[in-house]
Amino acid sequence: MDVVFDLGGVVLTWDPAAIIASVFDDERERAIVRAGLFSDADWAALDRDELAPHDAIERAAARTGIPVPRLGALFDAIPGALAPVEPVLELVEQVRAGGNRMFVLSNLHRASFERVRRTLGIFALFDGRVVSCEVGAAKPERAIYRRLLDDFDLDPADMVFIDDMRVNLDAAAAFGMATVLFTDVAACRNELQALGVHLASAST
């Protein structure tokens, strides 16, 4: 079977609230930044690599009233906040050792992508990847799922997609993929096995 993993919030840590809190002490400012940056349409444009970070920062400053240097500090903190989740990496190894092919389907800004590619070694664990900033499309847009299927000649009926956001899973299900909403490693492992994904034992 072909198993597709999201990165942020699954294979890698992703906690926007913690990232914001590392830069902003004031609760009111944290709420403003969360609504005016992470929830804004510009965020998707960054994922698609259609908007330069300095332009996104200036636009966010205009929307929120937060000074450009402080928003710049937040942007600088994002790539370093991505770190491998060791129990998930163990699950990845179990999936691979079980004889399954594995792929990445992820939304990543360019700076985060470069950190993952150059320093974390995550992509080497997978048979292929489709990442938003490389292909100009982002989940849950249909184009990025179509790109995954076409690039690797995948059959949706023989696939499982793991993501931490329901909207992304719904888009995958529309193509006929089985889906797993990631909440924790144990639950994910159980759901994969229930879907017929063969996993090697943890000691393998």
Site of tokens 């370093």: 80
Name the maximum alpha-carbon separation found in the chain. 53
Distance CA 199, CA 204 (A): 10
pLDDT of residue 204: 43
Q: What's the topology of domain 2-13+82-194? A: Rossmann fold (3.40.50)
The average confidence (pLDDT) of the chain is 94
Distance CA 47, CA 38 (A): 11
The pTM of the full predicted model, rounded to 2 decimals, is 0.93
- Please give the radius of gyration of the chain, using alpha carbons only, rounded to the nearest integer: 18
What backbone torsions phi and psi does residue 63 show, to the nearest 5 degrees?
-75, -40
Query: Each residue of 140-173: pLDDT tens digit?
Result: 999 999 999 999 999 999 999 999 999 999 999 9
Query: Each residue of 60-96: pLDDT tens digit?
Result: 999 889 999 999 999 999 999 999 999 999 999 999 9
* Residue ranges per structural domain of the chain: 2-13+82-194, 16-80
Q: How long, in residues, is the chain? A: 204
Distance CA 198, CA 100 (A): 7
Q: Taking the mean position of all CA atoms in its chain, how far away is CA 171?
A: 15
Residue 161 DSSP one-character state: E
- CA dihedral defined by 116, 121, 125, 128, rounded to 10 degrees? 50
